[in-house]
A and B are shown apart, each in its own frame.
Chain A
């Protein structure tokens, strides 16, 4: 049996400026600041139109190739694209008022209350979205008196919800003593579910696949769904699948810090190759905690706070169709426990070992997807240009192997890499934002292969000093010849 394929990719961004205050870093900084910080944050938030016209976002949803960013002057937020569309080849950019409606549709426990004005407004906003036909939109309408919202916020642990600077409702906790069911945690989890459902709906529509045809779902989201007895218990995958009508599927979650999407795709490919399941969806919802993570650097540079979007990703893995590029299962690179955590150790494990196994040179991979963090987000806060550093490291390995001269590293980076364009949502930048572009370029005959390399920071959980990572290569379908 030939290797599996990724037949379809979907990518979604959701503009949620009113939730930036609930990102982990802004929440802590607003509480600790001696000067009023929230008004300064709000002054630096972008409009929906600015988010749609932002070149990296257009790359993310498939309207622009990543290499085109090399031709657009920086800062990209100062070179917005005229005529940019909210819908793209791989997905869409959703405005906040629509997402509020979607969030309520995802809410099975009445965690969200809207006031009587806002519920109908959010429903109306969502009604035009073609991906949500058949859902119970009446659920969004049910508003409550403002006094009840104020009472819940003042004395019952609920968090106020805002839109365009106004309180429009609140988000409740679901247990007064369970830290895993506090409002902020549930908000984070529900946003991952709702954004994951949106991107899965896009995936199934693009793939022309009925939800009933899906056998298995793997969530690679960054959240910890659970309760006091089982924090991070999981199975967000099934909650997302239920919302999308995948009634014949079951699922579970893959947890591997930022490397989870690559782990999930490799697991999905193994399940398809073995014949256990035919159609496996990998889905990653957005991460509330990472909104505004670098906002201090953005404020220092008097630039817009660019971490104002949730990112969501989805991939359909199925058996070889003779058309789409295959996932070469003999290409899977893994970071062994005994590999060591230096950058060179990690890249040797993830890049060189698999290439040696396949008899390929570093330069014989047309393009590398590494962690595709948008440098415009990270550089102002001193976190560096993550993809560029990764490409230089891979280029350095090619130099060590005498495949290229040291003086050719910059050319290697330009030809085999690309500028970062992904929101800094942890798992979302993990190489996979390039999958859609790579698959299309291979099908057009512009490339023959691409390698996807992601890394994870296991040490952040304080259980091990280990790093992590995984990689795989996709290649032109051999049946095309």
Chain B
């Protein structure tokens, strides 16, 4: 789905963590160039 696309991944502590989103994006063909989980509290 995302072959040839680069992805910047922003995860959220109380939502979905960055590595989980990154794994999905990689599985869908994207190149993850940055992934991080943030805490907003």
Contact = CB atoms under 8 A, between A and B. Distances in A.
B19 A465 contact: yes
- Chain B interface mostly: loop
A424 B41 contact: yes
Given A341-B20, A342-B20, A378 B15 contact: no
B39 interface: yes
A377 to B, nearest CB: 9
Say which size band chain B's interface belongs to: 10 to 19
A275 interface: no
A11 B36 CA distance: 34
Contacts of A319: none
Interface stretch (A122-130, A131-139, A246-254, A452-460): A452-460
Interface of A: 341-343, 371, 373, 378, 381-384, 386, 389-390, 424, 429, 455, 457, 459-460, 465, 467
Nearest to A462: B36
State the 5 A-B residue pairs at the shortest beta-carbon distance, nearest first: A457-B39, A383-B40, A341-B17, A459-B37, A457-B13
Given A378-B41, A459-B37, A467 B17 contact: yes
Contacts of B40: 378, 381-384
A455 B17 CA distance: 14
Given A371-B41, A383-B41, A467 B16 contact: no
Contacts of B36: 459
A5 B18 CA distance: 39
Contacts of B41: 371, 373, 378, 383, 386, 424, 429
A76 B8 CA distance: 38
B17 to A, nearest CB: 5
A455 B40 CA distance: 13
A343 B16 CA distance: 7
B19 A341 contact: yes
A276 B7 CA distance: 53
